[in-house]
Structure formats: structure tokens, C-alpha cells
Amino acid sequence: MIKIAPSILSADFVNLERDIQMVSSADYLHVDVMDGAFVPNITIGVPVVQSIRKCTSMFLDVHLMIDKPVRYVEAFAKAGADMLSIHLEADHPTRIAEALKVMGDCGVKKAVALRPITSPRAVLPYIDELDMVLVMTVEPGFGGQAFMESQLDTIRQVRALLERYNPACELEVDGGIAPKTAPLVIEAGANVLVAGSAVYGAKDIPAAIAALRGPE
Ligand code: DX5
Ligand code: ZN
């Protein structure tokens, strides 16, 4: 089944509760945390995730675009995240492993994220224990960017590794997902689609979510 994860980066932050309710027919709520260091943008922090947790029962898929994420995984888990994605480029492998362990201790689902430059094989040291791999289809940092078609091959390669080592693991894609690109990433092996502008820019949001999910 294809899951849709609207990104609240494209929501109106003054009306965040209203905008979260607007996407309640989706599967996950994607929350983009940026620190101004790992990426050149600053967005949402722990207190906002805490407030979001109070106003929705949706599954909170929290994408940490921050340096040395091990410093913050416990805080975001306690704030109410259901799953945390940490970037493989954001720290040394031992500290990535440590962050995943803390996630397990806190009872949140574990995901690793790959910038477009990162090799699919970088997931291998952690693959057994992951609940999801997030393949970026734009450079992380901003919503509304153009989909990078070259990432279709990365999606295919990650899917092949998952089939071999961890078939239950989900494969999420993030960046430039729209009605035209959704079928391409699904065909390449993605099963969770993040969409910011394609959802919040649509006149009929539930219809946009259903369209991205495709026929089933
Ligand atoms: C970008 C973020 C994305 C972003 C996607 O760094 O991780 O989640 O909100 O936005 P769209 O769907 O507009 O490309
Ligand atoms: Zn994201």
C-alpha cells in the first residue's frame, strides 16, 4: 500500500492546527526539523512537535535535518514523534548507531535519510534494524524544489537492498513529489511519499492526497 506523508513545511504556521486537520486523510504527518547548520534553513524545534502531538493523533514522521542528531533524538521522542529520520551524513557512523540505539530505547521507529550524493550502500551497516529508509529526491533544505530524476536509480538500489536484507522496511521519498513524479518513484520502489507543495498548494487537498496515492 502506498502511504502519503504531507509535509507541514508548506502549511501556514499561524494556522497549523487547521492545516494539520486538512490532511487527516493522509497516512503520516511529515515534520521537517532544520537547524541552519546541516541545511541552510531553520524551521521547527522540540516545543512545536510537542504542540503538534497535542492536536493530532496522526503518525508523526519527524525528519531531522540537523547535525549530530544523537544530541536530540530523546527530546524529539519525548515530544511525541512516532518515527525519527536521521541523516547518515550528519555524524560519524558510531554516533549514527548510537542515535539509532537511543531511538530503540525510547520506543520510536527508526529511519535513516540519504542526501542525493550519498550511496545507497551507506544504509548497509544499519539495515537490519531500520523501519524506514528516506531517499531525498531534492537537496534537503527547502520545499517546492524540482524533483531530481537521477534519484530514481538510488530508489531502485535501496529497494533492492531492502528486498534482500529487510523486506519489511519502508522506503520513503521526499522532495518534488507531485502527480507527475509519484508514479515514477512508486515504480522505482518507494512506498511512502512525502509531499509539501503538491498537497498544500492544491485546491482540493483530500483529492490531491488520493491522486498521489494512485489507483489501488
Ligand atoms: C525538504 C523537506 C521536504 C519538503 C518537501 O528538505 O525535507 O519534506 O517539505 O517539499 P515539496 O514536496 O514541496 O518538495
Ligand atoms: Zn522532509
H helix intervals, 36-150: 46-55, 73-79, 93-106
| 171: pLDDT strictly greater than 90 | yes
Return the pLDDT at 216: 67
User: Mean of the per-residue pLDDT values for the chain?
Assistant: 98
CA dihedral 77, 80, 83, 87 (to 10 degrees): -50
Using most ligand atoms within 8 A of CB, pick from 33, 134, 137, 142 the residue to mutate for ligand 1: 142
Each residue's pLDDT tens digit, 85-144 = 999 999 999 999 999 999 999 999 999 999 999 999 999 999 999 999 999 999 999 999
Report the pocket of ligand 1 as residue ranges, CB < 6 Å: 7, 9-10, 30, 32, 63, 138, 140-145, 174-177, 194-198
Tell me how far the alpha carbon of residue 198 lies from the centroid of ligand 1, in angstroms. Answer: 10
| 180-200 mean pLDDT | 98
Each residue's pLDDT tens digit, 25-69 = 999 999 999 999 999 999 999 999 999 999 999 999 999 999 999
174 is catalytic: yes
Return the pLDDT at 195: 98
119, exposed or middle or buried, with CB in 10 Å at 0-12, 13-18, 19+?
exposed
What does the alpha-carbon distance between residue 60 and residue 55 come to, in Å, rounded to a whole number?
Answer: 12
* 168 grid coordinates: 519489511
The rounded radius of gyration (Å) of the Cα atoms in the chain is 16
Percent of the chain with pLDDT over 70: 100
Residue 175, sorted as left (phi over 0), alpha (psi -120 to 50) or beta, turns out to be left
Residue 215 binned pLDDT confidence (cut-offs 50, 70, 90): confident
